Amino acid sequence: MLPVSDQPAQKPSRKATFALVLASLSLVLSLISCGFVAVTWFDDFDDSFQSPPQAASVSEVEAFAHVTFPPGTVFLSAASSNGLETYLSARFRIPRDALDTFIADGNFGAKLTPGLRAVTKQDDVGGGDTWHPETAVRVSGLDEEAPGPNGTYRRLLADLDAEDTVTMYLRASRP
């Protein structure tokens, strides 16, 4: 058993209190500076590990994104970038009556959700001024939570504004 004293505990000396306050302040300042360095590094992070965007062909889009374009597809644009991750974006138009078949043949891990904007302007790998998913009024989207075939993550936005066709915006990535 530990000895118990009837004497009140001694107050720490002023020097000890000052040293403790100084050490605490030093720790806080160090953590703030580390956080600042990390934020600055991520803000200034350049994509030097990524290749510049390059045009992707129909067959490259089908192979990478594991989709099959239905007959009557009009391929509008596609670009990819390789590096630490591989990114691909594609825009194409399919007949409206081929939408369900396209989704089923792609074995997507999610269903189209009305109103979901799963693809945005920032998802355009190639840049340029032909990628405007934000202008669509009636949309459905699909966002796979888990990777699909070969570890590929896929997101899709269907622009349903036209009567006979659906403009599709596809974003695929693989670590």
Check: CB of residue 122 under 8 Å from CB of residue 162. Answer: no
Which H helix or E strand runs over 13? none
Q: What is the pLDDT of residues 105-123, one digit of tens each?
A: 988 888 899 999 999 888 8
Assess whether pLDDT exceeds 70 at residue 3: no
pTM of the model: 0.70
**E strand segments, 68-128:** 74-81, 86-95, 113-114
Check: CB of residue 159 under 8 Å from CB of residue 175. Answer: no
